[in-house]
């Protein structure tokens, strides 16, 4: 698509903004002072991304480097649409593009909306060492990307990379990482509860309390209480 399409996308984002959504975003997002919020719902952003999936990577780069929050989110979702249909070297190039710009993925909603659908598909067919590289980063959002990207693996019944990251990042100083670890353990539990429970039993004393609380949200009350009380 041409630069006109990029301008059209930006205009549509502003037309679709809702003050009530913006107010909610201001309450739940920890954002930089220069970050502009429009107030566009995530399902609306996903629909726009499908419509503008033909944007060039130059245009996506412009979106990712914007200080308008929804423009960055839209750029990430466009990239996800492109990854979805790409294969082989083309998919790897898109993933490399994403990994080179993680400084633009600078809030939890941007990570959670992109990691498993941009990096995730590559993990299913590529080298998992990127997860350890991201987990070792000083950038909070790189570490959360590593954790959330494993959702794609979890959905295919591959749980060990998530277990590995839980142990790698269990002493992370950031609660947002502890919550993400618990969330992914809960996703494993949805598919294989005995396996997740066995992991918790083995490592309970090592895990952050908030990770345990998130991981056990779907367990039977008595089973959940057993873990929560122990932490």
**How do the pLDDT tens digits run along the chain, 231 residues long?**
345 589 999 999 999 999 999 999 999 997 777 899 999 999 999 999 999 999 999 999 999 999 999 999 999 999 999 999 999 999 999 999 999 999 999 999 999 999 999 999 999 988 899 999 999 999 999 999 999 999 999 999 999 999 999 999 999 999 999 999 999 999 999 999 999 999 999 999 999 999 999 999 999 999 999 998 887
Answer positive or negative: Cα dihedral of 112, 115, 118, 124: negative
**pLDDT, tens only, 47-56:** 999 999 999 9
Half-sphere exposure of 130 (CA within 13 A, CB side): 24
Which of 89, 65, 85, 94 shows the shortest CA–CA distance to 6?
65
> Burial of 95 by CB count in 10 Å (0-12 exposed, 13-18 middle, 19+ buried)?
buried
Report all structural domains of the chain as residue ranges with CATH numbers, in order of start.
1-126 (no CATH), 127-231 (1.25.10.90)
**pTM to 2 decimals?**
0.95
pLDDT for the residue numbered 1 = 39
For residues 20 and 28, what is the distance between their CA atoms, to the nearest angstrom?
13
Rg (CA), the chain: 18
- Alpha-carbon distance values, 89 to 79, 102, 122, 152, 228 (Å): 15, 20, 10, 19, 45
pLDDT at 39: 97
Angle at 108 between CA 150 and CA 81, to 5 degrees: 60
């Amino acid at each position: 698509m041409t630069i006109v399409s990029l301008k059209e996308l930006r205009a549509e984002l502003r037309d679709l903004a809702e003050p009530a959504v913006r107010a909610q975003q201001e309450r739940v997002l920890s954002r930089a002072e220069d970050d502009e919020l429009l107030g566009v719902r995530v399902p609306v952003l996903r629909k726009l991304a499908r419509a503008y999936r033909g944007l060039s990577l130059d245009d996506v780069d412009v979106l990712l480097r914007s200080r308008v929050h929804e423009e960055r989110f839209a750029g990430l979702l466009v990239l996800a649409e492109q990854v979805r249909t790409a294969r082989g070297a083309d998919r790897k190039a898109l993933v490399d593009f994403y990994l080179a710009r993680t400084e633009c993925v600078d809030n939890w909603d941007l990570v959670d909306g992109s990691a498993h659908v941009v990096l995730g598909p590559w993990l299913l067919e590529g080298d998992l060492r990127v997860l350890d590289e991201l987990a070792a980063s000083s950038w909070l959002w790189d570490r959360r990307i590593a954790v959330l990207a494993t959702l794609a693996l979890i959905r295919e019944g591959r749980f060990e990379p998530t277990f590995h990251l839980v142990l790698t990042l269990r002493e992370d100083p950031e609660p947002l990482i502890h919550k993400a670890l618990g969330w992914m353990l809960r996703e494993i539990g949805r598919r294989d509860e005995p396996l997740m429970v066995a992991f918790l039993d083995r490592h309970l004393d090592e895990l952050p309390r908030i990770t345990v609380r998130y991981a056990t949200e779907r367990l039977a009350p008595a089973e959940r209480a057993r873990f929560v009380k122990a932490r």
